[in-house]
A and B are shown apart, each in its own frame.
Chain A
Amino acid sequence: MNSRERILSAVKQNKPEFQPLPETTRFQSDYPDLVAKFSEILRFIGGTPVLVANYEEAETYIRQTYNDLPSVVSKVPALQHLATTDWDVLDPHQLETVDLAIIQGVIGVAENSAIWVPEERGGHRVLPFICQHLVLLLNTADLVPNMHDAYERLNISESGFGAFIAGPSKTADIEQALVIGAHGARSLSVVLLQNS
């Protein structure tokens, strides 16, 4: 018997009597204002929420906030012209010099300000992590109250890789002192495009 068979037969022999799944695994969160809740949580975890009416306002915000950054990747079609080069690289290692990445998120979760970013939205999986600063765009119509609602709407195996991203990277490993900017992006702005 190889290890696979040994493990599976030991599990079969030792597992407890069958216990059914609980009937309820989805709970409702009642937030009167999803944008307000999302923004409050995002600020709490070190991110910056920005509410805009259209792409022109989004562009103005990004230009003003990140005007000193020389290398910008934009994966949002409407904001394509903010990119400094076309960044059509084959090797993800080449993204090492990216200062700012602009990516469109799919779903935002009000309870924890997490945004679902599948690999197709960034081109390369590593982009939202390797860039120094990150801007995620999100339609306010794509906000849901909690994680149950998000998973209800997503098919997570549709993408080879996807991540919920909530705030900038951080660590508190040294004496529990919070430091923003661990290995991933040093800052995160979420530009909320009002369309609901």
Chain B
Amino acid sequence: MPGIENPFGSKPVTSNMMNHSEAAEVFTEDVDRTTWHDKTLWFVREKRDKAVFQIPEWEALREAGSRIKHNALSNLDEYLLEFEQNAIKNGVKIHWAADGHEHNEIVLQILRETGATQMVKSKSMLTEECHLNDFLIEKGVDVVDTDLGERVVQLAGEPPSHIVMPCIHKKKEEIGELFHEHLGTEKGASDPKYLAEAARQHLREKFLTRRAALTGVNFAIAETGGFVVCTNEGNADMGAHLADVHIASMGIEKIIPKAQHLGVFLRLLARSATGQPITTYSSHFHRPRQGQTMHIIIVDNGRTTQLGRPDFRNSLKCIRCGACMNTCPVYRRSGGHSYHNAVAGPIGSILAPNLDMRKNADLPFASTLCGSCSNVCPVKIDIHDQLYKWRQVLVAEGYVDSTKKQGMKLMASVLSSPKLFRFSGKAGRTMMRLLPYSVSNPLNPWFKQREMPEPPKESFREWYVNRETNK
């Protein structure tokens, strides 16, 4: 039935009870999909590399981006005031929200003042974090996500699984089915071009009829009081320039000091995200157009707490490019939903525990600590170090289950005694040779989706000692 909205908006698909590894297990049950997901994201990572290699000064650019963000965080209160003052001068209304709930209430109040009961929305991870859609729909507001990928997951009643490619976990046949049901496309049609055209027509009608539009903010410039929104589809612009009211939601960490710094960040962002030299549209908003009102909501929602954690505050430098997800061997094979957080992947795993340690205690463990995330991060966040540090904090605070703790204790006693270590190694190798089923059985979590390696005949130590004797 065309034009019927999904009444549920975005809802977490994974129940709160499922931790990352359990949810990942569900995702990996479909082997073909997992392989496809893995390869597709790696393809995006390769596109990123190609784009980056064309910029000889890339590393210097990353360093500049990183240091601008360090400066911004170290002087954030002053920059926020400067931004507010300039934005007000520009005729923009500024609101401050301590948490997600206050943010949502402010949006609702603006809509009520406008008399709007319908709103179009472009991509904003912050509003996902605040669960804005659920809140507004409950209050009787019709919210339509206008980024194609976000519209897909909204129709499916799911949250985005990736911050840049929200429906990367879905196959085109599934999207075709959703569009058939909701937009009236032909049954069985799955050609991306056909489906994208259907979405264009469907959403154009929304852009033309909605009086309120909400966008995210990629960068907020203290010096000018303006903000920049980056999209490829043009949906943020179609929404904002046709609506009577434009609401822009931003976390406090979106501040950059000067307009010239946009040169650094716009060069870093799209290359890191998708391998494009820049997004199709980099829209700079400073003043509302004639007859329009423009609001900016500045949101904390835990960010000031994170700012106070010396080991973790650098996570606030993030510019939301998603490069760490595309490169992460765990993300690629477990899917974004397994992270049960608005922002998935490595960066999500260092942001989430700040919001709720108990609920997100599993996330810093969803990593091999290989460090690839830190290597591709355009603003040089030490992501894998922070994942490691969160583990220490979470164990110390008692948020990690006891089996992991017991295992670690046993491991520690074996590793701290050379004698015990040699004995265990030998016993293990013999066991694997004589009784392979003792490890290659479903009770051993390491056997899941893995072939156990051939046990070596001797340990390195034995080899080394024998080599010395045989000289």
Contact = CB atoms under 8 A, between A and B. Distances in A.
B238 A184 contact: yes
A20 interface: yes
B199 to A, nearest CB: 8
18 contacts: A2-B96, A3-B98, A10-B300, A15-B73, A15-B74, A44-B277, A45-B280, A124-B241, A157-B226, A160-B289, A163-B284, A167-B280, A170-B280, A172-B165, A173-B147, A173-B149, A174-B195, A183-B207
A34 interface: no
Contact of A157 (B60, B97, B225): B225
Given A126-B241, A146-B263, A183-B238, A11 B76 contact: yes
A181 to B, nearest CB: 7
Give the interface size bracket for B toward A.
Answer: 35 or more
A92 B61 CA distance: 39
A3 to B, nearest CB: 4
Interface string B136-151: 0000000000111100
Nearest to A188: B280
A16 to B, nearest CB: 5
B264 A129 contact: no
A114 B278 contact: yes
Contacts of B224: 156-157
A166 B259 contact: no
Interface string B256-282: 010111111011000000101111111
A130 B277 CA distance: 23
Contacts of A45: 276-277, 280
Interface stretch (A23-31, A56-64, A79-87): A23-31
B237 interface: yes
Give the interface size bracket for A toward B.
Answer: 35 or more
Interface stretch (B306-314, B328-336, B394-402, B408-416): B306-314
Contacts of B90: 157, 160
A171 B75 contact: no
Interface in B86-137: 90, 96-98, 102
B201 to A, nearest CB: 10
Interface string A1-36: 011101110111111111111101111000000000
A7 B289 CA distance: 30
Contacts of A26: 260, 263
B96 A18 contact: no
A92 to B, nearest CB: 6
A13 B300 CA distance: 14
A13 B307 CA distance: 9
Contacts of B57: 27
A151 B262 contact: yes
Interface in B218-256: 221, 224-226, 232-235, 237-238, 241-242, 252
Contacts of B193: 177, 179
Interface in B353-394: none
Contact of B307 (A14, A151, A179): A14
A173 B259 contact: no
A108 interface: no
Contacts of A181: 196-197, 200
A26 to B, nearest CB: 7
A161 B287 contact: yes
A127 B379 CA distance: 34
A85 B310 CA distance: 61
B44 interface: yes
A150 interface: yes
A2 B287 CA distance: 26
Across the A-B interface, give the 4 residue pairs with the lowest CB-CB distance, nearest first: A184-B234, A14-B308, A160-B287, A182-B233
B313 A16 contact: yes
Interface in A131-181: 146-148, 150-152, 156-157, 159-177, 179, 181
